[in-house]
Structure 1
Amino acid sequence: MEYPKLTNKQNDFFNFLVRYVREFEQWPSHQDLMDEFGFKSPRSITQLYEALIKKNHLVKADWGEYDFHPVQKFNLSENEEDEEYGIPIVGLITAGGMQEAVEEDLGRVTLKSILPNYDKMKAVVVSGQSMRGAGINNGDIVLLAQTDIFDGDIGAVRYRGETSLKRIYSTPNGMRLKPANEDFEPITIEPGEFEEVNIIGKYVGHINDKGLHKV
């Protein structure tokens, strides 16, 4: 899925948002943006925000504020191997009786440490709602691993030049690609058509504006 390209003005606006949020860890005010770009009316800012939402670079949060689209968060993430990034592990916690809290530096949690098949992974952006029943929605980023797929696993399949994300089943009559939405029909692939099928990868999780998930 390719997103519409930004105009020069939209790109400058987006890059300023990225720099500002990274430096100040908050979103610039309308006045900050008006000063930066010489706008005379807040309407110009609103129009740019709306354009970036339409082009899947920003999203409108539930509380009325803005956030980066999950795809952009993924693209803008820093090098996971840099020790400065990742989630800090600050100590041990008991799952039994209470004990004294002691903070210490035990390293970082990164994508590589969470995902065992990290080196054999790729990501795709979902277009459509055929897997809505599995919690995978339009615009989500799906993580795929090049590993064995078992009956009933969710996987990305290329068939006759088209791609689809479905649950994959083996049947006596071939292969069945089952959606997680009753509005969509399953796809049946007969044995004689197997050479036209390419398994792109096995679903291992997905990312959206609520975080990292696994079905």
Structure 2
Amino acid sequence: MKSLTDKQRQLWEFILQFYEDYSQFPTYDDMQNEFGYSSTNSIYQHLQGLTKKNYLSKMGQGHYEIHHSKRNQLSDFYPGVPIKGRIAAGAMHQAISENLGHLPVEIHPEKSDHYFALIVDGDSMIDADIRDGDYIIIDPREPKDGEIGAIRYRGETTLKTINKRSDGITLQPENSSYEPIDITPDEWEEVTVYGTYIGKAWKKDGNWGVIFRSG
């Protein structure tokens, strides 16, 4: 800790305690209120200092996590489910490629540390209770018949129910306003499967939880 300034050390200790209490990284408002700063600029400067000294890792615009070398300072540290990007539930769009931090939820990490989250864009799956802006949890395995899959087809991503037929696959939307997409067996070889939808995360009264898909 000698490499930190006094204010950096105070912020670092607050971040550790916040993780212990809430299992997530504090927001700028949390840190600003704790230390009484009139603006976020001072917080930003301290976060930059902690990042340069490998106490934190920057995960994208305005997002930070505990640096892997410092995680042993937390008891039972579990960073949450990584958010790997956005996926269309409507018209297809560009492939999943972002790193948007982590969802502060724990799903039996000894069995599911390979799960990841995506943010839904669109309303083609509303009858499956998947709505625009939802955080969905993906198991990176190929979906079975009738399960909802996150896939890439012809260079674009989509979230659809997978209906397997003797003559191919149908990507079925769960909204009557959208048309299904039929794929022949030969075309299926061009499909990249990201995984299977198993549930979604939700936030209530400041706390995060996960609703798993039934069936």
1:36 maps to what in 2?
38
Q: 1:17 aligns with which of 29, 39, 44?
A: 29
1:163 maps to what in 2?
157
After TM superposition, give the deviation of residue 190 of structure 1 in Å: 1.2
After TM superposition, give the deviation of residue 192 of structure 1 in Å: 2.1
Matches of residues 58-69 of structure 1 in structure 2 within 5 Å? Answer: none
Larger radius of gyration: 1
Q: How far does the alpha carbon of each residue in 1:155-205 deviate from its partner, in whole angstroms, 9 at most, with x for none?
A: 101000011111111112200111111111111111221221111111121
State the secondary structure of the residue aligned to 1:196: coil
2:112 maps to what in 1?
117
Instruction: Pick closer, same or farther for the CA change 1:200–1:170 going to 2, 3 Å.
Output: same
List gaps (5 residues or longer) in structure 1: 1-13, 25-31, 38-71, 87-109
* Structure 1: distance between partners of 2:110 and 2:158: 23
After TM superposition, give the deviation of residue 77 of structure 1 in Å: 7.6
* Structure 2: distance between partners of 1:114 and 1:178: 31
Q: 2:75 aligns with which of 83, 86, 107?
A: 83
TM-score by length of 2: 0.51
The letter for the 2-side match of 1:116 is K
List gaps (5 residues or longer) in structure 2: 1-25, 40-59, 79-104
Equivalent pairs: percent with the same residue?
Answer: 33
After TM superposition, give the deviation of residue 85 of structure 1 in Å: 6.0
Instruction: Pick closer, same or farther for the CA change 1:196–1:166 going to 2, 3 Å.
Output: same
2:196 maps to what in 1?
202
Count of aligned pairs:
133
Residues 1:183 and 2:177 aligned together: yes
* Structure 2: distance between partners of 1:149 and 1:19: 42
Q: CA RMSD in A?
A: 3.4
Q: How far does the alpha carbon of each residue in 1:62-96 deviate from its partner, in whole angstroms, 9 at most, with x for none?
A: xxxxxxxxxx9xx678799943667xxxxxxxxxx
After TM superposition, give the deviation of residue 112 of structure 1 in Å: 4.6
Matches of residues 92-111 of structure 1 in structure 2 within 5 Å? Answer: 111=106
Instruction: Pick closer, same or farther for the CA change 1:140–1:195 going to 2, 3 Å.
Output: same
State the secondary structure of the residue aligned to 1:213: strand
After TM superposition, give the deviation of residue 18 of structure 1 in Å: 4.0
* Structure 1: distance between partners of 2:64 and 2:147: 30
After TM superposition, give the deviation of residue 147 of structure 1 in Å: 2.3
The letter for the 2-side match of 1:200 is Y
* Structure 2: distance between partners of 1:163 and 1:115: 29
After TM superposition, give the deviation of residue 115 of structure 1 in Å: 7.5
* Structure 1: distance between partners of 2:64 and 2:134: 16
Q: 2:166 aligns with which of 151, 154, 172?
A: 172
The letter for the 2-side match of 1:113 is H
State the secondary structure of the residue aligned to 2:157: strand
Q: How far does the alpha carbon of each residue in 1:86-117 deviate from its partner, in whole angstroms, 9 at most, with x for none?
A: 7xxxxxxxxxxxxxxxxxxxxxxx72526833
